[in-house]
Amino acid sequence: MEQPYEGWIVKVALPARFRLALDYLPPEGMLGVPQPGLRVRVPVGRTRAIGFVVGSAERSTLPASALKHITEIIDPEPLWDPVSFELLCWAAGYYHHPLGQVLSATVPTGIRDGQAATAEVLNWQLSTAGIEALAAGPRGKKQRALLELLRSGPMEADQLSAEGHAATLRSLNQKGWLESFLAPATPPPAGAGNALPPPLNSAQQKACDQVTASLGRYATWLLHGVTGSGKTEVYLQVITQVLARGRSALVLVPEIGLTPQLVERFRARLTVPVVTMNSSMTDTERLAAWRAARSGAARVVIGTRSAVFAPLPKLGILVVDEEHDASYKQQEGFRYSARDLAVARAGRTGVPVVLGSATPSLESLANVAAGRYQRLLLPERAGKAVRPAIAVVDLRRHAARDGLSQPAVAAIGRHLEAGGQVLVYLNRRGYAPTMFCTSCGWMAACRHCDARMTVHLKDAMLSCHHCGANEPMAFACGSCGGELRPVGQGTERVEAALAQLFPAAPQVRLDRDSVRKRGEIDKALAKVASGEARILLGTQMLTKGHDYPGVTLVVVLDADQGLFGIDFRSSERLAQQIVQVAGRAGRGERRGEVLIQSAFPENPLLVSLVQEGYTAFARAALKEREAASWPPFARLALLRADATQRESVFGFLDRARSLTEDLGPDVRVLGPAAAAMERRAGRYRGQLLVESAQRASLQRMLSIWLQRLAQLKTPGGLRWSMDVDPLELD
């Protein structure tokens, strides 16, 4: 047996399947070892891969014959500053996700593929031969077009390929007609900064002063203010102070909140370059934004979830708008919470972070109660507007037809009559949740999932909202031939009912079936803003990011779906949705009205929400959580597994569970249990829930458990993943 190698080795984390970093020898001829945070090319088996240096050691556990040299060091300096790099290492440990995958998940594709990290870009220009060739009049049309284009000066390679010149460029280059060189990328344009800030009201001023006083040290502020209370204005004025001190700002917004209007508002107020980062950008755009941030050229980054990793030297503040929003949690791969990482990043950087919301998460409110976060309250709307009156319609006393109870219909009529707009909220798209056989009780179910097929009447389709399966609608029962009827309601059905009841009131429906592109949302919203549409009907899409000042009545059709959801967070989400949707309505002088339909009007959570508001609801809900030992009073992790065979899932979970038996009395393992929807898209799904009162105990247990799990032989086709602080339990 060969001796383990004695000498300097480099630990390289690869994005591929390995959980642990691999040992490599430094590049041939190099004295010393490369620094952590550098990208390197290394041989892996017969191929090569790009990995990240994550450390070094004076010896390896492997013999010299098993060690290979790093082939190339890609970066002249580490991709991250030491604080950011350490944060990522910590996050990989906390979420128990392989470091190589974490590092690669947090950089743009171009960086993963080995492109330069600096904002230098490849440019092409005509060579002397190229100029001569152009003068001689080249034959090919495309070639001539490209030569003409470059006659007026060099152009960036990315732009040339974006304009479809990639192939021509290659052939002209082969002829020696072109020359390339690297040049600094054009910096992102600066904001106009021509809009004047309004004088702040006293609550805003106090919030602004407190946050500003905390610049330069770590503090977490929970800015709790209803929609329209001026939170964004507070962000803007604090950020102005941060910029004046030569530092930069990172602003996170929910997936759907990153609107051109918001970005415009920042650019109109700030004179520094503002860049955005979001998932709908192309790889090239994302790389450019990342480089602009890293070089310090961009001073404000506004982005969705993954922007929490944006490299920003001299970061002075972080803002997380709508901090309760579920889109901050990554639901696959590296399952991080961008909100929680923003707080961790602020802590490590020694700067404040502002978490803003009209409906703060129960976690954040508990952190306020524990003294870890400080709450700043904006109690009033910035303009003149009064709180709406909220009432519950008891569905046991008032039967609903097509989802609408008589009192709701009467109220809608009254508000339309008075010239108001009406917003109807139902978090279920389609015509009806399923087709039901009136003679034998059969229901249309998905072939691949434990779920019903949703009826889409207009398309005459049945479709599964979980796997996307579609089939044409049938009217005769598949089992007895009896008559099929749609049962329950979705937005499509309510739309039809409203059209019949109020034929003179034009409607706009907002859900994933009615609007599929961003432009369509804007078009629909323009109709609402102009007053052309009188009834606005939709799903959760309504609760995010838009204001409806003309709306005087909000009707929540089905509160019970949330009150009795399977997840312990269902009621929190429902309350947030109700408050958010109610808060987007009515900015005028007329007092708004909110009606909530429920068959359980005495539910204590609903009562506290209706009578006393969100804060009282949150207090009651936190008590329930405490009594049941749910987060934030317990820490959870979820081991999920899925496979096409039921037995492989549960066999694996049984074995995984047996690996926890000696792992401590202060961590409980529950399960294996089937997921709420056991079969989805043809795969069986099961899980083990791990719970502990102490974060540290849970973390210790997970570290050992994951090492054991990594060694477990899993049946082919089985997938498993660990979710620390899961947002959803199914």
Site residues (vs ligand ADP, CB under 6 A): 198-201, 204, 225, 227-233, 382-383
Pull the structure tokens for residue 495.
């739309």
Instruction: Identify the H or E element spanning 525.
Output: helix 518-530
CA dist list (Å): 396 to 211, 400, 405, 601: 49, 9, 10, 9
Q: Which is nearer to ligand ADP, 291 or 587 (by Cβ)?
A: 587
At what angle are helices 570-583 and 604-612 packed, to 10 degrees? 20
* Residue 466 contact among ligand ADP, Zn ion, none, beta carbon within 5 to 8 Å by kind: Zn ion
* Residue 479 contact among Zn ion, ligand ADP, none, beta carbon within 5 to 8 Å by kind: Zn ion
* Residue 200 contact among Zn ion, ligand ADP, none, beta carbon within 5 to 8 Å by kind: ligand ADP
> Closest distance between ligand ADP and the C-beta of residue 259, in Å?
12
Of 438-457, binders to Zn ion (CB under 5 A) are 439-440, 442, 446, 448-449
Task: Determine if 658 is a binding residue for Zn ion (CB under 5 A).
Answer: no
**What percentage of the chain's residues is helix, strand, coil (to nearest 5)?**
35, 25, 40
Contact letters for Zn ion, residues 392-431 (x by CB under 5 A): ----------------------------------------
Pull the structure tokens for residue 648.
């492989």
Instruction: Identify the H or E element spanning 4.
Output: strand 4-13
Cβ atoms within 10 Å, residue 57? 13
- As a whole number of angstroms, the distance between CA 720 and CA 686 comes to 10
* Residue 449 contact among Zn ion, ligand ADP, none, beta carbon within 5 to 8 Å by kind: Zn ion
Task: Determine if 467 is a binding residue for Zn ion (CB under 5 A).
Answer: yes
Looking at residue 25, the DSSP 8-state letter turns out to be: B
CA dist list (Å): 89 to 92, 212, 330: 5, 30, 17
- The SS3 of residue 665 is coil
> Closest distance between Zn ion and the C-beta of residue 482, in Å?
4
Q: Which amino acid is at 374?
A: Q
> Closest distance between Zn ion and the C-beta of residue 452, in Å?
9
Cβ atoms within 10 Å, residue 654? 13
* Residue 482 contact among Zn ion, ligand ADP, none, beta carbon within 5 to 8 Å by kind: Zn ion
> Closest distance between ligand ADP and the C-beta of residue 276, in Å?
18
Task: Determine if 466 is a binding residue for Zn ion (CB under 5 A).
Answer: yes
Q: Which is nearer to Zn ion, 218 or 442 (by Cβ)?
A: 442
- As a whole number of angstroms, the distance between CA 463 and CA 688 comes to 30
> Closest distance between Zn ion and the C-beta of residue 588, in Å?
44
Q: Which is nearer to ligand ADP, 43 or 198 (by Cβ)?
A: 198
* Residue 446 contact among ligand ADP, Zn ion, none, beta carbon within 5 to 8 Å by kind: Zn ion
Q: Which is nearer to Zn ion, 14 or 464 (by Cβ)?
A: 464
* Residue 198 contact among ligand ADP, Zn ion, none, beta carbon within 5 to 8 Å by kind: ligand ADP
Q: Which is nearer to ligand ADP, 232 or 349 (by Cβ)?
A: 232
Q: Which is nearer to Zn ion, 437 or 643 (by Cβ)?
A: 437
Q: Which amino acid is at 292?
A: A
Q: Which is nearer to Zn ion, 406 or 470 (by Cβ)?
A: 470
* Exposure string for 391-430, b = 16+ CB within 10 A, e = fewer: ebbebeeeebebbbbebbbebbeebbeeebbbbbbbbbbb
Closest CA to 425 of 327, 548, 328, 523: 548
Q: Which is nearer to ligand ADP, 231 or 685 (by Cβ)?
A: 231
Angle at 236 between CA 341 and CA 189, to 5 degrees: 90
* Residue 480 contact among Zn ion, ligand ADP, none, beta carbon within 5 to 8 Å by kind: Zn ion
Q: Which is nearer to Zn ion, 40 or 446 (by Cβ)?
A: 446
- The SS3 of residue 622 is helix
Q: Are 467 and 681 in contact (CB under 8 A)?
A: yes
> Closest distance between ligand ADP and the C-beta of residue 329, in Å?
22
Q: Which is nearer to ligand ADP, 39 or 231 (by Cβ)?
A: 231
Pull the structure tokens for residue 549.
């000042």
Binding residues with Zn ion: total (CB under 5 A) = 15
> Closest distance between ligand ADP and the C-beta of residue 264, in Å?
12
- The SS3 of residue 85 is helix
> Closest distance between ligand ADP and the C-beta of residue 470, in Å?
39
Pull the structure tokens for residue 50.
């790009």
Q: Which is nearer to Zn ion, 6 or 483 (by Cβ)?
A: 483
Q: Report the half-sphere exposure of 280 (CA within 13 A, side-chain side).
A: 8
Contacts of 636 (CB under 8 A, 6+ apart): 689, 690, 691, 698, 725, 726, 729
> Closest distance between Zn ion and the C-beta of residue 440, in Å?
3
Looking at residue 432, the DSSP 8-state letter turns out to be: B
* Residue 225 contact among ligand ADP, Zn ion, none, beta carbon within 5 to 8 Å by kind: ligand ADP
Q: Which is nearer to ligand ADP, 231 or 324 (by Cβ)?
A: 231
Of 472-491, binders to Zn ion (CB under 5 A) are 477, 479-480, 482
CA 230 from centre of chain: 24
* Residue 651 contact among ligand ADP, Zn ion, none, beta carbon within 5 to 8 Å by kind: none
> Closest distance between Zn ion and the C-beta of residue 688, in Å?
24
**Footprint of Zn ion (CB under 5 A):** 437, 439-440, 442, 446, 448-449, 464, 466-467, 469, 477, 479-480, 482
